[in-house]
Amino acid sequence: MLLVADVHGAFSALATVAQLGEPLLVLGDLLNFIDYRTNEGMLADVAGKEFVAQLSQLRSSGDVEASRRLWAEHHAGREDEIRARYRELIDASYSAVADALTGAESYVTFGNADRPDLLQASLPPGSRFVDGEVVEVEGYAVGFIGGGVEGIGVPGEVPESTMADKLAALGDIDILCTHVAPAIRSLSMDVIGGRLKQSQVVREYIEDVQPPWHYFGDIHQPQATMWRVGRTVCRNVGYFRATGIPVRHR
């Protein structure tokens, strides 16, 4: 099986991987709101690169309140217009995801940058939306948990309490697949963005259940890509938008 995460609009590369004929596990963040390397993405399409540069600087510095004020000021009086434009771009992106995955056996969960309801509705036959459940893939029991940690109030964020409930329902599995990183600093700190994004409950599940493998994404430039917790090998499957390269299990 192949795994990717953080596609962020790299749909041609996703199609190439999907055509390899192996089961494909997609661990969230299909949409590309902001590419922090270039300031490209849906946000730039709607608001312009200058606005994106300002917002990126505030988020990178950790000034969440200032970034929220900037966002509110920019959108004031045009909320409906801007909301409709984003919906058009989201629908077009998820249509491209469906085209990329058509004909493939794929299992797709969501990340913090996604709209889980719209993603689920857009998937083609043969692609399964998975969240809080266990499926058998190539003889392995694979548990999927979608969503990112709370931070800026977007639809793809999941409270830790909700994530804990979903994890508890998985039971014993061979492979844990999440979007979010476990609470291990070297895996969950983005060295470029300077942001720590991690889930304590994911780490606790790994410590308690000890599945042999844990795959995740979310952190584009981590300090480390692999870490062992007991018998569990935790691995960031990479920033697919930048690499176009999947990870093959084993």
pLDDT tens by residue, 225-244: 999 999 999 999 999 999 99
pTM assigned to the model: 0.93
For residues 193 and 219, which has the higher predicted lDDT (pLDDT)?
219
The count of domains in the chain is: 1
Per-residue tokens: 155: 């639809």
What 3-state class would DSSP assign to 99?
Answer: helix
60 pLDDT higher than 80: no
pLDDT of residue 191: 85
Furthest C-alpha separation in the chain: 54
74 pLDDT higher than 90: no
Task: Kindly report the number of other CB atoms within 10 A of residue 82's CB atom.
Answer: 14
Torsions phi, psi of 34, nearest 5?
Answer: -140, 125
CATH number for 214: 3.60.21.10
50 pLDDT higher than 70: yes
For residues 64 and 66, which has the higher predicted lDDT (pLDDT)?
66
117 exposure class (CB count in 10 Å sphere: 0-12, 13-18, 19+): exposed
d(CA 142, CA 43): 34
Which residue range forms the structural domain that includes residue 29? 2-248
Quick: pLDDT tens for 4-43.
999 999 999 999 999 999 999 999 999 998 887 888 899 8
Quick: pLDDT tens for 97-127.
999 999 999 999 999 999 999 999 999 999 9
Quick: pLDDT tens for 181-194.
999 999 999 887 66
pLDDT of residue 194: 67
